[in-house]
């Protein structure tokens, strides 16, 4: 079965409202994310490898902002250790409803608890792997430090946090170049100029990316001893921090 195509911003809108993870977006999400985020598939493959290496026996894994559960499915495939539970959380009811079906389509003995909640309100405990795969950028900037600190405190020694994000760059010409190359990536994936510009407007108030430097300073401030960028394609990146 081919994924339903994302045409959400293809018609001229009299007023472009804020981007929301509603039923319309959830119904086209796999197509939207694979045509919009360079390296998304590679990041999922590596999450599986990281899970194989870093998840500890008798511990919990958290997928924060799980959408349809793609990262959870990749991690579940990679886990080698016994007595592990995955907790997948999203505050979009439309996403969580569909995630249930996605998760059931894959057979596994590893339990997954799927929760519809705000990740700012959940307790993180006994964790060996926490994943924020393109979620932190949607949280109000003032709430980001507290979330990363809460994650640090809920991780076991040696536990890891993976944060994938769109980045901004402190050097203006580099920023413009890498943003423009990303727009070329979207054009090459069939998005029109209208779709690109209306979605950009819709995201303006909702998605506020940080720089790599801001992320790494936040990890250090929360207590993480080490952090590094392990993937980057244009202005999309994934980082790992180790407790």
Ligand X SMILES: Nc1ncnc2c1ncn2[C@@H]1O[C@H](C[S@+](CC[C@H]([NH3+])C(=O)[O-])CC(=O)[O-])[C@@H](O)[C@H]1O
Ligand Y SMILES: O=C(O)C(=O)Cc1ccccc1
Binding-site sequence positions for S-adenosyl-L-methionine: 40, 65-67, 90-91, 118-119, 133, 200
Residue closer to ligand X (CB basis): 64 or 241: 64
CA distance 229 to 238: 6
- List the single partner that 127 binds among ligand X, ligand Y, none, CB under 5 to 8 Å by kind: none
Residue closer to ligand Y (CB basis): 44 or 203: 203
Handedness of CA 152, 158, 161, 167 (dihedral sign): positive
- Residue 95 interacting with ligand X (CB under 6 A): yes
Residue closer to ligand Y (CB basis): 37 or 71: 37
* Contacts to ligand Y by CB under 6 A: 32-33, 36-37, 166, 199, 203
Q: What does DSSP assign to residue 158? A: E
Beta strand 127-133 with 60-64 is parallel
On the CB side of 124, how many CA atoms lie within 13 Å of its CA? 29
Question: Which structure tokens are listed for 86?
Answer: 């995955």
Find the helix or strand (DSSP H, E) in which 129 lies: strand 127-133
Q: Which residues pair with 88 in a beta bridge?
A: 63, 114
Q: Rg for the chain (alpha carbons), in Å?
A: 18
Within 144-163, the residues that bind ligand X by CB under 6 A are none
Residue closer to ligand Y (CB basis): 166 or 218: 166
Over the window 28 to 67, marking each residue x when it contacts ligand X by CB under 6 A and - when it does not, the resulting string is -----x-------------------------------xxx
Please state at what angle helix 172-188 crosses helix 193-203, rounded to 10 degrees: 130
Residue choice 46, 60, 135, 198 for contact with ligand X (CB under 6 A):
135
CA distance 213 to 217: 6
Residue closer to ligand X (CB basis): 18 or 83: 18
- Residue whose structure tokens are 């995201």: 203
Over the window 186 to 215, marking each residue x when it contacts ligand X by CB under 6 A and - when it does not, the resulting string is ------------------------------
- For residue 130, give Cα distances in angstroms to 47, 63, 72, 199: 11, 6, 11, 29
Applying CB under 6 A, the span of 5-13, 117-125, 168-176, 190-198 interacting with ligand X comes to 117-125
Residue closer to ligand Y (CB basis): 31 or 122: 31
Annotated binding site: 40, 65-67, 90-91, 118-119, 133, 200
The residue sitting closest to ligand Y, measured at its beta carbon, is 36
Find the helix or strand (DSSP H, E) in which 218 lies: helix 212-222
Closest separation between CB of residue 198 and ligand X, Å?
16
- Pick the closest to residue 151 from 127, 170, 135, 173 (CA basis): 127
Residue choice 139, 160, 202, 222 for contact with ligand X (CB under 6 A):
139
- Contact footprint for ligand X (CB under 6 A): 21, 33, 65-67, 70-71, 89-92, 95, 118-120, 133-135, 138-139
């Amino acid at each position: 079965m081919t994924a339903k195509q994302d045409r959400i911003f293809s018609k001229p809108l009299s007023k472009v409202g804020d981007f929301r993870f509603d039923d319309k977006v959830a119904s086209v999400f796999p197509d939207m994310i694979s045509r919009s985020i360079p390296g998304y598939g590679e990041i999922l493959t590596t999450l599986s490898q990281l899970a194989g290496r870093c998840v500890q026996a008798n511990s919990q894994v958290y997928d924060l902002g799980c959408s349809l559960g793609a990262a959870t499915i990749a991690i579940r495939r990679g886990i080698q250790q016994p007595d592990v539970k995955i907790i997948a959380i999203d505050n979009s009811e439309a996403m969580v409803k569909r995630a249930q079906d996605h998760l059931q389509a894959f057979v596994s003995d590893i339990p997954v608890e799927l929760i519809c909640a705000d990740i700012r309100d959940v307790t993180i405990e006994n964790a060996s792997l926490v994943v924020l795969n393109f979620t932190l950028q949607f949280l109000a900037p003032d709430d980001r430090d507290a979330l990363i600190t809460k994650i640090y405190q809920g991780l076991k020694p040696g536990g890891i946090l993976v944060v994938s994000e769109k980045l901004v760059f402190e050097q203006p010409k580099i920023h413009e170049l890498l943003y423009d190359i990303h727009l070329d990536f979207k054009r090459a994936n069939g998005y029109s100029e209208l779709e690109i510009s209306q979605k950009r407007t819709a995201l303006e108030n909702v998605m506020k990316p940080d720089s790599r430097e801001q992320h790494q300073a936040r990890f250090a401030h929360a207590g993480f001893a080490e952090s590094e960028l392990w993937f980057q394609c244009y202005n999309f990146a994934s980082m790992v921090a180790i407790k």
